[in-house]
Structure 1
Amino acid sequence: MRTRAIRPSGSSHKNISPFGDKEFSLDLPTVSTPDTRQDVEDLHDHHLAAFGHTDPMEIEQSHCPQTTPQRPTIIEGRKVTLDQAEKLLSSFRQQSPYFPFVQIPAEATVPSLSRTSPFLLLVILTTASIRDPPLYHQLDHEFKRILSTKVIVEGRKSLDFVQGILVYVAWYPIHANPKNNQAFMYVNLAISLTGDLGLDAELPNPNNFKNISTLGLTDGGTFTDAAKRAYLGCYYLSSALSLGFQKPAELRYRDLMGSHGQRLLKNESSAEISSLITLHYLLLRIADVHSSYEPTEDLQMETLKAEVNIQMFQHEIQEWRTSVPMSIRNMPFIGLAERFLGCAIYSYELGFLRRPYRDHLRSMAANGPANPAYLESCLQASKTFCEYILSLPETTYSKFTTVQWGMLVHVILVLSRLTFLMAASLGWDSDTTRSNVPLIMYLDALCYRFEHLSVIPAGTTETPKNPDVIYVFRMILKSCKKSYERRVSKIEPGFLVVDHANVIGVARGHCPILDPTLNPLFDISDSTYGGSLELNESATPSASSTAASLPQYHDVWAVMTGSWAEEF
């Protein structure tokens, strides 16, 4: 980026734009194209082996022949023109409603944003260029350079930086470098900035703004709606990531967040935020109820507690439905959140997200079978979610944020675990199981849609050099489908057996990612989750031997590509 004038960071009350006052100029450097093809091929080979397809000839034919290593492709430096930038901004406007915490005014243009929110503009251009890999990699390189220089080195703080980081994390590019997930680092940086800006207080304190740009932050002694939205966005993203990966939350719900949401209801363009936060907070409460739950030997009391919890949460969802206009409920991202809650109520109650899941199966064998009514309700709620997501236009999927992708991952995992538990409880055979749990149909439908959405041409047999996230996710779903089909075909009455040491039979699945052979592909510090390593005692290090040295979480890429399918 070119800079025409630099002002001291400590005294400015307006953002310092890297663009000129009268012209738009964005110079991108020469960079090397990252080649993720080998990552994808290694991942695919591991899936084939994990699912029992170990024929060397089949694996060799599954991807393009090995060739002599070549020098990295160079992407020459270029200048993004005003027309190109305006097209990218227009493209971003189509997906921005799925993360309503950062809103772009209808009258905003690239030149105006370059003056008021230059960092946010850079992130918008980066996010919107995802279908142009060379341009995306150059913009992503520039994003990281500007962030490290201005925020980390120079210590600048502004609402512009918070908004930019939130947009970046909302559409986090997990496909760009699966070995190096930094989502938590970015979101924690955003949380730190919100604290420095005073957004965790009801009213701004001017005495704290000595070295802070206040442009867009305050208005007449109060925080602007944009600032309130950013604070709520930090909570939404950070808590969603923490919940998905069972990592301690860095930003917890406060009454101030509820009051912000109520005030934003008065703004027609922000009314959906209050509903989204309400649903999200309810989801976190559902998870919290079960996170520290310790079952007792009193089965009657356990049944009563479960029923009270379910009725309480269902009542709150119904209250929300009656208080929210249909215009908001019909928004796709609100519809997904609402239907996901229905699945979450029962999936948490049934323990489908417990880790290690095999330990939960052992406890179920000791304490009695799962409530058949809960199993059926969970199945119906999961079907409702899947059928809703399949009813959305294909173009909707490319707008999904990390949170919405996480919901889909959650439901696929729940349906898989639900399949084998219901089959064992109700004495189903494989044919009955297929007819009652249509997970294979859902996976087929999703793969078909992803094939047409990916920038990789349909029918491509060779692994692309730079696959997009849709392509990789489709590949993983196909692998999961193959594993699921193989296991369902072996279902017969009495197939699920739990002894004192392990789960035996077709219900025992394998995590395709948490395998020591994948250490070169995924950083051990990011791809492991404490306590969930005991997937295969003969092939995987025990939790006790690694707990002292490994952090208690795994990365987004691992979740997207299979560690969420720990027992799939």
Structure 2
Amino acid sequence: MAEYVNPRAQACQNCVKAKAKCYGHSNGRCERCGRLNRDCLMPELIIRTRKSRRTIQQAQADRIAQLEERLNSLTSTLNVSRPLSLDDNVESSAIVPEAINISSNSSSAASHELFESRPILSYASNVCTPNHQTALPTLQPSQYGEDNYEATPPAPQSPSPDELLNFFRQNLARQVPFVYVPAHLDARSLSEQKPFLYQAIIFAASYHDSVHQLALGQEFTKDVTEHLVMRGEKSLDILQGLLVYISWYAGLFGFKTQLNVLIGLIFSLVIDLHLSYPMPGFENHEKFLGEMKGIVSNHQSTWARRTEPTKEEKRTILGCFYIFSAAATVSLHFCRVNPLHWTPFLQQCHDDLLASPETENDIYLAHLSYLQRISEDVQHSGIHQLPPQPNTWNVAFTVHFKLLLSELRKFKDSLPESIAQDDFMILNYYTVEMRLLEICFFMPPTNPTSSSSLQRVDVLSMCLTATQAFLRHYFSLENKPYVNFARIITSQIYFAMMVLSKFSFFHAEDWNMRDVEMEMDLSTVVDRVSGAMEEASAKFDRLPDKKPWLQLSQKVRQIRVQFDLMLAAEDRSLSSLSDMQRNGTLPGAPFSFNQFDLLDDFWQNMSENTYGVN
């Protein structure tokens, strides 16, 4: 743009000041300055630049830039104040947690109060995933437009990853003793060394916001699928992450079919990592020949180990056995196909942990896995495949039952005091005991004249006592909500409810439930379980339109509705049968246990449906 000079600015300074006409310039003076004998000085020229006209396109570009800056500010605010929902398109985050000094001596109660009062941030701000990519949540203009920006309040600061890791060590690690996280490792170091285990730990410790935890679970399964299935990566880190994830895979997270898939992935990793096999010894020609055949047929890959198993690998394989065996205890379908059994190698891993433990959890894991070995013996003993209520009971079954019961009682007496008083161990023990004593429903009627020391009424009484003891201890843990959320514990409470249902429908000459005093019947248990879930919903369902715990509570209440209907139908049937017997129109018939098959299906299906989310 050319410079613009005002053509009228030709008067001298004196004429400008006097506002007089300046003319007749000669000899360097104008006519007025020459007449007044003054110096005639011309003013400095004022050069001005003409402003350019803004085009419509330039105005639109400036407006777009302003809106983008405002939208970026809105994005950062929403990323802090709004937890991610299941519908948000969130990619893996690479934000590495900042280390925060936390005293290792802080109590679990103080840690729990801290988590109760502070919400959880979105997944993108807390979790370091294996993909190491950062992404912001996609904004929906209709929901988070310019008009709503000023009304969005900032959210309080959430617990840091180090605080979540510390909470896991204090309150949750006892239930997953097959995973050891050294005390000197902070969240940053753990995320770098074992990203999948870190991701699963953050998922487990973030239960205080149910929707946020659902997002963490989805992100974890997505990463596992990508690395394990799509890329074919196999590592101990992925296996340990899956074990921790499944241990806290409560009723909020997907369908039971997905749980079966995850268990299948665990077993495939056990095979590919050669965890269930000891290091081979070539002391004879047959073993050496088998090794060579394996190398040739599998293109230099063999099923045998090439190194001695480490302590970490021993913990992991015992953890896999525990997860598989515990799932078989509470699942009628999985117990038929459980592929991982107690072997001499697992016995060796158990003995090594007891002989040279690195932590107290190693001793705990050894006893817990041995308890599940007894449970596996109960599952495969064959005493539960007896015909219903036979007239006589095979002597071999009687001996086998007594041996299992004696071994279970000896195990309880041999536990160290600290482990014998552990809540998780007590619940596992009573579950195995209920599973063994459940044989009472298949025993022949009590015969006072028989010389047998094993009578049905005695076993019925022991089974009811074990069930009531389990329920009593379970409900004493209400001040520890994180214990009740574990996948194994929720399955065990369903199993106890199924045993109670069998007692409710069991009628025999030597057993009358109306004459038995029960602390808690099935209706009371269902009400207390659903009530605890409703309390959890009030604490942990933070979004008004998404309440996973409340949905789960409503499904549990369906159990009581169905149970009351079945109980009413049973009372009408018994009343009609008694009238016909008194009239002599129908002879007394022995009690049939065919209905228990239907009852088992009811509980099994209810358990599967309960684990789904609408």
TM-score of the superposed pair, with normalisation by structure 1: 0.64
Asked if the contact 1:3–1:19 (Cα under 8 Å) also holds between the matched residues in 2, the reply is: yes
Asked if the contact 1:236–1:277 (Cα under 8 Å) also holds between the matched residues in 2, the reply is: yes
How far apart, in 1, do the equivalents of 2:199 and 2:414 lie? 38
Asked if the contact 2:251–2:552 (Cα under 8 Å) also holds between the matched residues in 1, the reply is: no
Counterpart for residue 322 of structure 2: 236
Counterpart for residue 97 of structure 1: 174
Quote how far apart the aligned CAs of 1:320 are.
1.0
Which of 111, 122, 131 is 2:188 aligned to? 111
Structure with the larger RCO, 1 or 2 (CA within 8 Å, 6+ apart):
1
Counterparts of 1:375-454 in structure 2, within 5 Å, are: 375-398=460-483, 400-422=485-507, 426=511, 432=515, 438-454=521-537
Counterpart for residue 351 of structure 2: 262
Change (3 A) 1:448 1:227: same
Aligned partner letter, 1:145: K
2:270 is the alignment partner of 1:194: yes
Change (3 A) 1:3 1:404: closer
Asked if the contact 1:419–1:437 (Cα under 8 Å) also holds between the matched residues in 2, the reply is: no
How far apart, in 2, do the equivalents of 1:72 and 1:503 lie? 66
Counterpart for residue 381 of structure 2: 289
Aligned partner letter, 2:263: V
Asked if the contact 2:190–2:198 (Cα under 8 Å) also holds between the matched residues in 1, the reply is: yes
Aligned partner letter, 1:128: A
Counterpart for residue 417 of structure 2: 326
Q: Which has the larger radius of gyration?
A: 2
Counterpart for residue 236 of structure 2: 159
Counterpart for residue 363 of structure 1: none
Deviates more, 1:129-138 or 1:270-279: 129-138
Which of 560, 582, 592 is 1:481 aligned to? 560
Aligned partner letter, 1:417: K
Quote how far apart the aligned CAs of 1:508 are.
6.2
Counterpart for residue 40 of structure 1: none
Quote how far apart the aligned CAs of 1:297 are.
9.8
Counterpart for residue 249 of structure 2: 172
Change (3 A) 1:427 1:252: closer
How far apart, in 2, do the equivalents of 1:329 and 1:127 lie? 25
Asked if the contact 2:178–2:315 (Cα under 8 Å) also holds between the matched residues in 1, the reply is: yes
* 1:375-409 C-alpha deviation (Å, 9 max, x unpaired): 22221121111112122243245454222221111
Aligned partner letter, 2:380: D
How far apart, in 2, do the equivalents of 1:89 and 1:141 lie? 20
Quote how far apart the aligned CAs of 1:279 are.
1.1
Counterpart for residue 608 of structure 2: 557
Change (3 A) 1:482 1:221: same
Change (3 A) 1:483 1:19: closer
SS at match of 1:108: coil
SS at match of 1:454: helix
Change (3 A) 1:126 1:296: closer
Asked if the contact 2:389–2:441 (Cα under 8 Å) also holds between the matched residues in 1, the reply is: no
Counterpart for residue 78 of structure 1: none
SS at match of 1:222: coil
How far apart, in 2, do the equivalents of 1:20 and 1:174 lie? 24
2:253 is the alignment partner of 1:253: no
SS at match of 1:245: coil
Asked if the contact 1:174–1:556 (Cα under 8 Å) also holds between the matched residues in 2, the reply is: no
Counterparts of 1:21-100 in structure 2, within 5 Å, are: 27=134, 30=137, 84-93=160-169, 94-100=171-177
* 1:320-371 C-alpha deviation (Å, 9 max, x unpaired): 123221111111111111122221112145259xxxxxxx9xxxxxxxxx92
Identity %: 19
Asked if the contact 1:440–1:481 (Cα under 8 Å) also holds between the matched residues in 2, the reply is: yes
Change (3 A) 1:108 1:291: farther
Aligned partner letter, 1:162: L
Quote how far apart the aligned CAs of 1:434 are.
7.5
2:547 is the alignment partner of 1:467: yes
Counterpart for residue 223 of structure 1: 309
Change (3 A) 1:20 1:447: closer
Asked if the contact 2:503–2:513 (Cα under 8 Å) also holds between the matched residues in 1, the reply is: no
Change (3 A) 1:496 1:426: farther
Q: Which runs of 5+ in 1 are unaligned?
A: 5-17, 34-70, 75-80, 213-217, 353-359, 361-369, 513-528, 536-552, 563-568
Counterpart for residue 61 of structure 2: none
Counterpart for residue 432 of structure 2: 341
* 1:398-442 C-alpha deviation (Å, 9 max, x unpaired): 45422222111111111111122047764565xx57867633333
Change (3 A) 1:497 1:399: same
Quote how far apart the aligned CAs of 1:174 are.
4.0
How far apart, in 2, do the equivalents of 1:486 and 1:150 lie? 48
Counterpart for residue 56 of structure 1: none
Change (3 A) 1:426 1:328: closer
2:373 is the alignment partner of 1:373: no
How far apart, in 1, do the equivalents of 2:404 and 2:576 lie? 31
* 1:163-211 C-alpha deviation (Å, 9 max, x unpaired): 0111111112542334x73112112212211222221222399999x99
Counterpart for residue 313 of structure 1: 404
How far apart, in 2, do the equivalents of 1:340 and 1:108 lie? 35
Quote how far apart the aligned CAs of 1:453 are.
2.9
Quote how far apart the aligned CAs of 1:250 are.
2.1
Asked if the contact 2:254–2:612 (Cα under 8 Å) also holds between the matched residues in 1, the reply is: no
Asked if the contact 2:501–2:522 (Cα under 8 Å) also holds between the matched residues in 1, the reply is: yes
Change (3 A) 1:423 1:441: farther
Change (3 A) 1:480 1:510: farther
Quote how far apart the aligned CAs of 1:26 are.
6.9
Asked if the contact 2:128–2:199 (Cα under 8 Å) also holds between the matched residues in 1, the reply is: no
Counterparts of 1:501-520 in structure 2, within 5 Å, are: none
Figure out how many residues of one structure are paired with residues of the other and give that number: 437
How far apart, in 2, do the equivalents of 1:443 and 1:20 lie? 39
How far apart, in 2, do the equivalents of 1:211 and 1:105 lie? 35
Q: Which runs of 5+ in 2 are unaligned?
A: 1-91, 96-126, 146-156, 282-290, 445-454, 579-585
TM-score of the superposed pair, with normalisation by structure 2: 0.60
Counterpart for residue 522 of structure 1: none
How far apart, in 2, do the equivalents of 1:92 and 1:128 lie? 6
How far apart, in 2, do the equivalents of 1:483 and 1:503 lie? 26
SS at match of 1:203: coil
Quote how far apart the aligned CAs of 1:19 are.
6.1
How far apart, in 2, do the equivalents of 1:127 and 1:331 lie? 20
How far apart, in 2, do the equivalents of 1:31 and 1:289 lie? 56
Change (3 A) 1:455 1:373: same
Change (3 A) 1:298 1:380: closer
Change (3 A) 1:281 1:351: farther
How far apart, in 2, do the equivalents of 1:187 and 1:88 lie? 26
SS at match of 2:160: helix
Quote how far apart the aligned CAs of 1:253 are.
1.9
Change (3 A) 1:560 1:89: same
Change (3 A) 1:250 1:395: same
How far apart, in 2, do the equivalents of 1:20 and 1:346 lie? 46
Asked if the contact 1:283–1:341 (Cα under 8 Å) also holds between the matched residues in 2, the reply is: yes
